[in-house]
């Protein structure tokens, strides 16, 4: 396990995750179709060419999932019990096929669980950036984390 236990997280610590990912046409097409999203902005190159973007947009939920996935190895891999929720999800810039994405995570807060003494809740702010250092996604995530001594 490479994830951290509740006690190991420090508020204001920033992780610069080493995993990166170049988004492909296949990623966008298969995710959109797998989730039954027929939005032509994602799956129709001709339609998208006539929009202000000029090309297909990557499905924002794929971007969000990729953002969370790129953070797991350094934060919660094997040490989380589960996600409790996400909030303040924003997509300030679009993602396109061929963009290479990376992630950063800031620990916003933490507290011990009131109902489960062997756990704590950690609040993360995840940020996804493209190859030009433009922020393409941000979200806050609350994770129920195992304690080391539990």
pLDDT tens digit sequence for 31-43: 999 999 999 999 9
pLDDT in tens, 45-93: 999 999 999 999 999 999 999 999 999 999 999 999 999 999 999 999 9
Question: Does the reported pTM lie above 0.75?
Answer: yes
CA distance 7 to 149: 9
Residue 150's pLDDT is 56
Kind plus residue range of the DSSP H or E element containing 32: helix 25-34
Is the CB of residue 74 less than 8 Å from the CB of residue 16?
no
Buried b (16+ CB within 10 A) or exposed e, 1-34: eebbbbeebeeeeebebeeebebeeebbbebbee
Pick from 54, 31, 60, 56: nearest CA to 43: 56
Q: How confident is the model at residue 1 (pLDDT cuts 50, 70, 90)?
A: low
Please provide the average confidence, as pLDDT, over all residues in the chain: 96
User: Above pLDDT 90, what percent of the chain?
Assistant: 97
User: Above pLDDT 70, what percent of the chain?
Assistant: 99
Residue 31's pLDDT is 96
**Arithmetic mean of pLDDT, 120-131:** 98
CB atoms within 10 A of CB 42: 20
Q: Dihedrals φ, ψ of 33, to 5°?
A: -75, -40
Is the CB of residue 80 less than 8 Å from the CB of residue 3?
yes
Pick from 71, 52, 44, 45: nearest CA to 137: 71
CATH number of 6-146: 3.10.129.10
């Amino acid at each position: 396990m490479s994830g951290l236990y509740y006690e190991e997280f420090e508020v204001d610590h920033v992780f610069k995750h080493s995993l990166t990912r170049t988004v492909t046409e296949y990623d966008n097409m298969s995710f959109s179709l797998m989730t039954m999203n027929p939005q032509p902005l994602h799956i129709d190159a001709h339609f998208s060419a006539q929009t202000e973007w000029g090309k297909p947009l990557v499905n924002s939920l794929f971007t969000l999932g990729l953002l969370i996935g790129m953070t797991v190895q350094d934060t919660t891999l094997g040490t989380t019990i589960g996600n409790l929720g996400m909030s303040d999800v924003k997509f300030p810039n679009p993602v396109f096929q061929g963009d290479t994405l990376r992630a950063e995570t800031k620990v916003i807060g933490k507290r011990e669980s009131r109902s489960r003494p062997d756990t704590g809740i950690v609040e993360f702010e995840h940020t996804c950036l493209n190859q030009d250092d433009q922020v393409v996604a941000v979200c806050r995530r609350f994770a129920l984390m195992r304690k080391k001594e539990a």
